[in-house]
């Protein structure tokens, strides 16, 4: 069974890490891909590597017009949108007493508003075609809070709440739109590079010393998409076997 083949999949944050690994796996399984990220040069390299059935669009998810343009690119190039993966995210964790307001706002803009803009942009298309799948990246920090994670955890709890609300709303109207929340633990990506609070970073680096590769998350995404349309895989938590958080 390959329900991934020929599906049109839009991915934000597609230029590295989980996004890039997911692009590779879905491409191998025959998906048609529309990739969004701020680093256009990275997207161009990925596009050249894949070589076919892939479109790219420079996208800052904090800008609703750019998110709308990304979805429109998928519709114009491939005629539909089957899956949206809201993958773009930031994790500049810090202790609240450091008062890093710019970082708080940045996380809220990317991690919460970026997801909302994606949902808002794609929902009319999916409702019109009476099918679709929205996959939102949360975090283990959206299930547990620890010192220094208050704002980041808040954004990821919000992603889970938004996705569950979306699931209930779409089930109520019979739109056949599926939802999936995916909560990674320590994954070997660039995410920890955003932590400017050095006291906080020391502790996070200790957790991430056993980080697993992002292909673990890509496989989970592929699995959720591949399930028959009447089956909705609503939530995953994936962490290193050794991670106790």
Domain ranges of the chain: 8-238
Which whole number is the average pLDDT over 23-30?
97
Do the beta carbons of residue 148 and residue 203 sit within 8 Å? yes
Dig out the tokens for 127 from the structure.
Answer: 């409702």
Out of 117, 152, 157, 208, which one is annotated catalytic? Answer: 152
Do the beta carbons of residue 223 and residue 133 sit within 8 Å? no
Collapsing DSSP to helix, strand or coil, 212 comes out as: strand
Alpha-carbon radius of gyration of the chain: 17
Distance CA 182, CA 222 (A): 12
In the chain, the percentage of residues whose pLDDT exceeds 70 is 100
Which whole number is the average pLDDT over 168-189?
96
pLDDT of residue 113: 98
Residues near 125 by beta carbon (within 8 Å), at least 6 away in sequence: 71, 75, 80, 81, 132
Dig out the tokens for 138 from the structure.
Answer: 């949360």
Alpha helices in 79-197 (DSSP H): 101-107, 114-129, 150-173
Q: Does residue 78 surpass a pLDDT of 80?
A: yes
Distance CA 230, CA 209 (A): 39
Query: What average pLDDT does the structure give for the chain?
Result: 95
Which whole number is the average pLDDT over 117-122?
98
> In 3D, which of 106, 121, 112, 13 has the Cα closest to residue 59?
13
Domain spanning 8-238 has what CATH number? 3.40.50.720
**CA within 13 Å, CB half, 223:** 12
Q: Could you tell me the sign of the dihedral formed by the alpha carbons of 94, 95, 100, 106, in that order?
A: positive
pLDDT of residue 127: 98
Q: Does residue 191 surpass a pLDDT of 80?
A: no
Distance CA 8, CA 74 (A): 7
Which whole number is the average pLDDT over 139-166?
97
Active site residue 152: yes
pLDDT of residue 196: 84
């Amino acid at each position: 069974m390959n329900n991934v083949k020929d599906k049109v999949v839009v991915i934000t944050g597609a230029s590295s890490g989980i996004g890039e690994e997911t692009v590779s796996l879905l491409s191998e399984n025959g998906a048609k891909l529309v990739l969004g990220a701020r680093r256009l040069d990275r997207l161009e390299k990925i596009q050249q590597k894949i070589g076919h059935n892939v479109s790219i669009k420079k996208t800052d998810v904090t800008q609703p017009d750019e998110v709308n343009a990304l979805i429109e690119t998928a519709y114009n190039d491939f005629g539909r949108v089957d899956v949206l993966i809201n993958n773009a995210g930031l994790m500049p964790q810090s202790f609240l007493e450091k008062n890093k307001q710019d970082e708080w706002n940045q996380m809220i803009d990317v991690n919460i508003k970026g997801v909302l803009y994606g949902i808002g942009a794609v929902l009319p298309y999916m409702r019109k075609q009476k099918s679709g799948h929205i996959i939102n990246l949360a975090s283990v920090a959206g299930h547990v809070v620890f010192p220094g994670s208050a704002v980041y955890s808040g954004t990821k709890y919000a992603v889970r709440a938004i996705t569950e609300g979306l699931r209930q709303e779409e089930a109520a109207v019979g739109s056949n739109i599926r939802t999936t929340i995916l909560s990674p633990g320590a994954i070997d990506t660039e995410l920890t590079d955003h932590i400017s609070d050095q006291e906080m970073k020391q502790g996070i680096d200790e957790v991430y010393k056993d980080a697993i590769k992002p292909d673990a998350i890509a496989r989970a995404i592929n699995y959720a998409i591949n399930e028959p349309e009447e089956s909705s895989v609503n939530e995953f938590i994936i962490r290193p076997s050794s991670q106790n958080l």
